[in-house]
Amino acid sequence: MADYVYGPGRTHLFVPGPVNIPDPVIRAMSRNNEDYRSPAIPALTKTLLEDVKQIFKTTTGTPFMFPTTGTGAWESALTNTLSPGDRIVSFSLGQFSLLWIDQQQRLGFNVDVVESDWGYGADLAALETKLRTDSSHTIKAICIVHNETATGVTNDLHAVRKLLDAYRHPALLLVDGVSSICALDFRMDEWGVDVALTGSQKALSLPTGLGIVCASPKALEASKTAKSVRVFFDWKDYLKFYKMGTYWPYTPSIQLLYGLRAGLDLIFEEGLENVIKRHARLGAATRLAVEAWGLKNCTQKEENFSDTVTAVVVPAYIDSAEIVKHAWKRYNLSLGLGLNKVAGKVFRIGHLGNLNELQLLGCLSGVEMVLKDVGYPVKLGSGVAAAAAYLSNSTPLIPSRI
Amino acid sequence: MADYVYGPGRTHLFVPGPVNIPDPVIRAMSRNNEDYRSPAIPALTKTLLEDVKQIFKTTTGTPFMFPTTGTGAWESALTNTLSPGDRIVSFSLGQFSLLWIDQQQRLGFNVDVVESDWGYGADLAALETKLRTDSSHTIKAICIVHNETATGVTNDLHAVRKLLDAYRHPALLLVDGVSSICALDFRMDEWGVDVALTGSQKALSLPTGLGIVCASPKALEASKTAKSVRVFFDWKDYLKFYKMGTYWPYTPSIQLLYGLRAGLDLIFEEGLENVIKRHARLGAATRLAVEAWGLKNCTQKEENFSDTVTAVVVPAYIDSAEIVKHAWKRYNLSLGLGLNKVAGKVFRIGHLGNLNELQLLGCLSGVEMVLKDVGYPVKLGSGVAAAAAYLSNSTPLIPSRI
Amino acid sequence: MADYVYGPGRTHLFVPGPVNIPDPVIRAMSRNNEDYRSPAIPALTKTLLEDVKQIFKTTTGTPFMFPTTGTGAWESALTNTLSPGDRIVSFSLGQFSLLWIDQQQRLGFNVDVVESDWGYGADLAALETKLRTDSSHTIKAICIVHNETATGVTNDLHAVRKLLDAYRHPALLLVDGVSSICALDFRMDEWGVDVALTGSQKALSLPTGLGIVCASPKALEASKTAKSVRVFFDWKDYLKFYKMGTYWPYTPSIQLLYGLRAGLDLIFEEGLENVIKRHARLGAATRLAVEAWGLKNCTQKEENFSDTVTAVVVPAYIDSAEIVKHAWKRYNLSLGLGLNKVAGKVFRIGHLGNLNELQLLGCLSGVEMVLKDVGYPVKLGSGVAAAAAYLSNSTPLIPSRI
Amino acid sequence: MADYVYGPGRTHLFVPGPVNIPDPVIRAMSRNNEDYRSPAIPALTKTLLEDVKQIFKTTTGTPFMFPTTGTGAWESALTNTLSPGDRIVSFSLGQFSLLWIDQQQRLGFNVDVVESDWGYGADLAALETKLRTDSSHTIKAICIVHNETATGVTNDLHAVRKLLDAYRHPALLLVDGVSSICALDFRMDEWGVDVALTGSQKALSLPTGLGIVCASPKALEASKTAKSVRVFFDWKDYLKFYKMGTYWPYTPSIQLLYGLRAGLDLIFEEGLENVIKRHARLGAATRLAVEAWGLKNCTQKEENFSDTVTAVVVPAYIDSAEIVKHAWKRYNLSLGLGLNKVAGKVFRIGHLGNLNELQLLGCLSGVEMVLKDVGYPVKLGSGVAAAAAYLSNSTPLIPSRI
């Protein structure tokens, strides 16, 4: 079966998720089911749980791999650590933080929303005020997206930890790392993150289907008393099966387990730090192209620039949805739509996952042609030239080929 | 990458899930991610939602395809239709009905458990008593597994419907069809099932990862007032996106969508009725083999014999777990363990999904050799002969090859 | 198993063969073997033999699909139509025509070589002289490569036919279409080609392994008396099995048959004329980039410009082999080496097969960075800009997405 | 795309080639093309050429991997070592030896054919007579199939070597190992085989497409003076590229190289001696089943019983072609046809390649049902019982699972 709507050549997939899957991972997943109660799958799972901790940069955390998406991982993070009515501080700065807040509210928490204009980072000054005035520790958790995928804004998690420490505040720190973990610098233990989570279809470069949630010892402790109703997303069932050494309270996707194994092997072969540097390189190159085109980054401050996704603001006379549609229709290029408040105003270039320099440059050329097609006076080649100039100076030799 | 623990030749996978995936489906899934917001994925999804209704035999139901497992599908069925404290009648007759009941209790429902000894079907006489005495309609739902996978017991759903109708009882009828739908005769509309659900890794013969839930108009209506807390499993979010024509409130697995498309195509090519007949044939053949071996079926009454899984009772001097372990270690054969009350006492032969006669006969030969190895005085060839005699009379020519 | 020497992201494969395989073809080939004597494989083969004729633009030709490479296809073309000692006129204009001539000589023909400087097309004036003076018809065949892959030179086959007709010369016209058929305009019947051949790993975008040879009625007639020794490459054995309807004198690759089926389906979906136009577009864009870089095309005359491969001449102070090596080591880009007389002097960009505009632009950006790396004063973005300007004006909407 | 003619479940593929491909090999081959001139492919090829020698049990031989089939490998063996008119002794004992002899004659050799009735082994007494009387060494080569696939006859190669040695005869020993190497005990060096060959689709369990030819030093020496015309199959071109370290005179199939790598890895993981024992086990079990059915093995003497294929003689009132057709149409079972002299009289069960005990037992059950269907009074279960009794005593635990 061909793609459902076929176009010649390879699709340039530059949405910020789901992202490109490396061929060795596709191969590893191309397999029949297996009995997950045989000795093979627990043995495989054991290596995955061990190795996935490296991606989170934790040695003390406990990972859970739910057969779900990021939305489910959010729910697991919240319901295992909190009770209905608990006060949580949550930052609203884009569509995904907004959706998480919506979930928090529907799950019955008392959500203390800290708003930022879209394009700006989390308002940590407001957080500080709240912490300072919360000597009775009514705040049970801080919820923050590390990287807001809708606007391309990366928040400073270390600063959040420092505030909590400064006020000796015991609130849990719950982090959505969906578009950051395994791509941006993320340090669960060092930054005292209590629950971190990601989805397989983001920087891990797998299909959708694994929501990976990692809990600190403090979070695990909290789960013992948290009163939120939960079954499918309950950590307790997993912990019970971890103890038995069979690992799975219900059927996992055999294919995703093998895929994750292959994906982690590739990441470790490249080196996690090199993966992060590659993302930094591609992010910087993309921003230089945007600048060369004379367009604005939706992200307002350099400190919040995201190395996994760039939201590009288009002139008012252009509908960014047209750009996305046209890119797909004429150049087999998939870009991200602007969402909610920035619908029609931005389009997004996802530059995360298993990607390299020439793929990005192909995408950027495509964006240039699309911009021209929709009537923006871009100089063809300008963005590519700017990006290439940077990449030409910063791209290392491929280690295995030296 | 080879299988994690390699053995020569093809594994005979005869656990009652996850089951064998046909090669055309494996092929269809061997692909890169795609933008699920492009026009292609909604177009594909539309066909799937339409066609999946045929598998449930419903024209009025609304299907939801959650990125989850059967356990998640259970949760979705319950939380969308019921409120905490609601009285539900639930039948306990094996490990999976037990787990569902555990979930029902943890979700805060008032579960009125109707027990059967393991090996027996749901106690419909007890249900009748409850319905008769419930003139005030305190019972909000009846929860029943169509086919209890732990014991190989198929329940008579039509009889349940008739009881409800006889007493004009408005309780919702929620059915776990995990190991029945697409293999056994299941008629959502005709039997007045309000919520039916299955998992992709069962008779649909896909990888784990889709929990398919189908809601009747009455169930949809109930969901508007049901007070159970839910977000990830909420139908409402899906319905909102169905209206917009984009279908997915969060990222689906592109691979599973293409896999489901390919799987449905194969089912329709064979013909759903032929698929069901094939399961009947393989089930009957398996039972004849068990009888020829001089062993007992865990299922006590013929009317409850399951055509998707047979739980075989072993003599007291044999540990059925040894059978399962040995089958895998020596013959590359995966059988199902006995669970909970029947642990050590039964092993299970799953005969569901994309399977044919010779695969089953290979399995049955393997079981014979394993029985001999663990000290049971089986006559080698006896079960295979009995099964083959039946199959030889009942197997049709493959239509496409006539 | 990962690629043997892994690099992050997708390799930009721009050698002039083997070329990129579309994912639907990779999927179609990911399968077990089958009995090639069952009814399925002849039925499949029948469709392939019919459809492959469309690619050659012949209705009267007889195609043979040998389990071999282009080199084997050459041998089949020659040995089935000629006898040792036969005089043949053959054009030498690059490495592949040279290799064919070497084969012709080793097979014992009396090869009358017409030399051109590399970069020039076949010397048809010399051919005319030979034909004019060959009233006794000692010339039994004209051998010509349609597109010389080493230099990127396309020859005018129609002109050859016109010469033969003008002199009413009965010589057979044998054409190597390895890097032309299914990419360039090629018309077997209209141009009176007697044997045309290609390899699966070229414009058909499959793995290596099928050498497809198509024989005109006149060629088939010649094969009855041709005395060259042949067994594996003998058409006679195929014709015998064609008559029996089993098609294969020895075991074919089941995978390549399904792959060819899928590949042809994609070509017909796009439309063969659109495929050819796409190649024209990518060829023109590449040449514009080369010009913008200030480099020379190895091809000397515009009439010979090849739309499947461009050989780029580098300045004398640069070793083109370094460019190829560096592209692979730093940018995961595979370019073609200069061969034989042009080794070190040219590198080649293959732009044939299942490719699109953005893939080419990614490649061209990569070439620019490599040129800079090896010390050539290229203006980054210049070639991409020139190519994009052209593509932006000429690329149609993808028909299935309009 | 489904199989071309779909049937539910997995096909039991029991033709003696092409055989079942293990899933890890299918996975390894599911990939895009690569530049075969990059450093990766030569590095991979080097390991293959080294490791393939182990399969031939040679340390002094030189392997060549031609993009061809067994028929092409035959041609390569002959044309590289012999000159037209050379006298060769060749054994005719079945369809494949016959086809080889046909090739030898068409290639212009003076073939001294030693006939055996079909079902009997090579007539070594006749060979001895010829050698004894050939003091002038007019015999240049002995050509023998190790295992005649049409009749299931294995010849004693060691005995041939002993005869040659006894008469100090310098004739080359050329062996068709197509259905033996990597399945039966084959020892190139120890038995003084000069050219041995096989095809990838046989015991190596790959797709068709590699003809592997291994030449002794003496054969290589002979190739320097052999006058047979050859180009595609010439060893010289390979040797030239071996020296350069690029290995390939023309484009190899990237997929088959990775497939061979994965296949060899599996063989070495299992252990070549264990692979051979597994074939002995499956062969013995098959023969016991045939005996239990009351049918005759086409092979007349126990010493010639083949462990890779069993040709079963059917009673005169049954057409064996009906058995093969019916097996495929009703049970999705592929059996081998009787060929030429034994057409209609035998059907063949191929039991070579990556197969295990339960797969074979499934096949045997299928054969029983088919026999019954075509009117042979078989006792269902009888053959399976006999085979299982043997396998139950002889099958070892899977080493990786102990």
- DSSP assignment of A44-77 equals HHHHHHHHHHHHHT-SS-EEEEESS-HHHHHHHH
Q: Which residues of D168-195 are buried (b: 16+ CB within 10 A; e: fewer)?
A: ebebbbbbbbbbbbbbbbbebeebbbbb
**CB-based contact A261 B1, cutoff 8 Å:** yes
With contacts defined as CB-CB under 8 Å, which chain C residues touch B26? Answer: 30
Q: Tell me the C-alpha distance between A55 and B15, whole Å.
A: 34
Instruction: Say which residue, C5 or A175, is predicted with more confidence.
Output: A175
Residue B269: its H or E element = helix B254-270
Question: CA angle B275-A5-A359, nearest 5°?
Answer: 120
Burial state string for B335-345 with b = 16 or more CB within 10 A and e = fewer than 16: bbbbbeebeeb
Whether residue B2 has pLDDT greater than 90: no
Of B18, B228, B234, nearest to A33 by CB-CB distance is B18
Residue to mutate among B293, B384, B390, B400, with most D CBs inside 10 A, is B384
Amino acid residing at A153: V
Model pLDDT, residue B352: 98
Tens place of pLDDT for every residue, chain D, 402 residues?
445 678 999 999 999 999 999 999 999 999 999 999 999 999 999 999 999 999 999 999 999 999 999 999 999 999 999 999 999 999 999 999 999 999 999 999 999 999 999 999 999 999 999 999 999 999 999 999 999 999 999 999 999 999 999 999 999 999 999 999 999 999 999 999 999 999 999 999 999 999 999 999 999 999 999 999 999 999 999 999 999 999 999 999 999 999 999 999 999 999 999 999 999 999 999 999 999 999 999 999 999 999 999 999 999 999 999 999 999 999 999 999 999 999 999 999 999 999 999 999 999 999 999 999 999 999 999 999 999 999 999 999 998 898
For residue A361, list chain C residues with Cβ-Cβ distance below 8 A. Answer: 361-362, 365-366, 384
D31 touching chain A per CB within 8 A: yes
**Considering only alpha carbons, which residue of chain D is nearest residue A30?**
D27
The pLDDT score that the predictor gives to residue A6 is 85
Q: Is B315 on the interface with D (CB under 8 A)?
A: no
Q: Which residues of chain B make contact with A71, given a CB cutoff of 8 A?
A: 231-232, 249-250
Q: How many residues does chain D have?
A: 402
pLDDT in tens, C113-157: 999 999 999 999 999 999 999 999 999 999 999 999 999 999 999
Q: Is A123 exposed, middle or buried (0-12, 13-18, 19+ CB in 10 A)?
A: middle
Which residues from A are below 8 Å from D261, CB to CB? none
Query: In this complex, which of D3, D362, D389 lies closest to B361 when CB atoms are compared?
Result: D362
Determine contact: A23 vs chain D, CB below 8 A: yes
CB contact under 8 A, B27 and C23: no
Instruction: Provide the shortest C-alpha distance from residue A401 to chain C (in Å).
Output: 5
**Segment B48-86, tens digit of pLDDT:** 999 999 999 999 999 999 999 999 999 999 999 999 999
CA atoms within 13 A on the CB side of B360: 39
Query: Distance from C55 to chain A by nearest Cα, in Å?
Result: 17
Partner-chain contact B13 A33, CB within 8 Å: yes
**CB A67, CB B69: distance < 8 Å:** yes
pLDDT at B1: 43
- pLDDT at residue number D166: 98
Amino acid at B328: W
**Sheet strands (E) in C45-145:** 62-67, 87-92, 110-115, 139-145
Do the Cβ atoms of C354 and A8 come within 8 Å? yes
Cβ distance A30 to D31 less than 8 Å, yes or no, reads no
Q: What is the pLDDT of residue D4?
A: 66
- All residues at 6 or more sequence positions from C245 whose CB lies less than 8 Å from its CB, including other chains: C42
How much is the pLDDT for D294?
Answer: 98
Terminal Cα distance for chain D, rounded: 39
Predicted confidence (pLDDT) at residue B3 exceeds the cutoff of 70: no
Residues of D within the annotated binding site? Answer: 348
Cβ C71–D18 below 8 Å, yes or no? no
Cβ of D28 within 8 Å of Cβ of A27? The answer is: yes
For C311, other C-beta atoms within 10 Å of its C-beta total 30
ipTM value > 0.95: yes
Residues of chain C above pLDDT 90, percent: 98
Q: Does B334 touch chain D (CB under 8 A)?
A: no
**What CA–CA distance (Å, rounded) separates B57 from C149?**
59
The nearest CA of chain A is from the CA of C58 a distance in Å of 25
CB contacts, 8 Å: B39 with chain A: 5, 328
CA-to-CA distance for C40 and D67, rounded, in angstroms? 24
Token pair listed for A10:
């390879």
Does the pLDDT value for residue C362 go beyond 70? yes
Q: How many Å lie between the alpha carbon of A393 and the closest alpha carbon of chain C?
A: 9
Chain C: closest CA distance from residue B255 (Å): 13
Give the chains touching C; criterion: ≥3 Cβ pairs < 8 Å: A, B, D
Contact B212, B199 (CB under 8 A): yes
Residues within 8 A of A (CB atoms), B 66-105 only: 67-72, 75, 84, 102-103
CA distance A317 to chain C (A): 21
| Element containing residue A248 per DSSP (H, E) | none
How does DSSP assign D248-264, residue by residue? -SS---HHHHHHHHHHH
Give the tens place of pLDDT for each residue, C186-204: 999 999 999 999 999 999 9
B31 neighbourhood in chain C, CB within 8 Å: 23, 27
Chain D residues within 8 A of B398 when measuring between CB atoms? 7-8, 329-330, 332
Contact partners of B by the rule of 3+ C-beta pairs under 8 A? A, C, D
Show residues of chain A in contact with D30, CB under 8 Å.
26-27, 30
pTM of the model: 0.98
**Three-state DSSP class for C247?**
coil
Low-confidence ranges of chain A (pLDDT < 70): 1-4
What is the predicted pLDDT for the residue at C4? Answer: 66
Nearest chain C residue to D67, by CA? C68
Give the Cα separation of B288 and B383 in Å (integer): 7
Q: How far is CA C177 from CA C14, C180, C196, C199, D68, in A?
A: 19, 5, 6, 8, 21
Q: Where are the beta strands (DSSP E) in A146-299?
A: 147-148, 153-154, 172-176, 195-199, 211-215, 296-297
Residue range C213-264, pLDDT digits in tens: 999 999 999 999 999 999 999 999 999 999 999 999 999 999 999 999 999 9
Q: Is C359 on the interface with D (CB under 8 A)?
A: no
Distance from CA of C218 to the nearest CA of D (A): 24
Closest alpha carbon within chain A to B255: A207
Q: Give percent helix, percent strand, percent coil of chain D, each to the nearest 5.
A: 45, 15, 40
Is C33's CB within 8 Å of D207's CB? yes
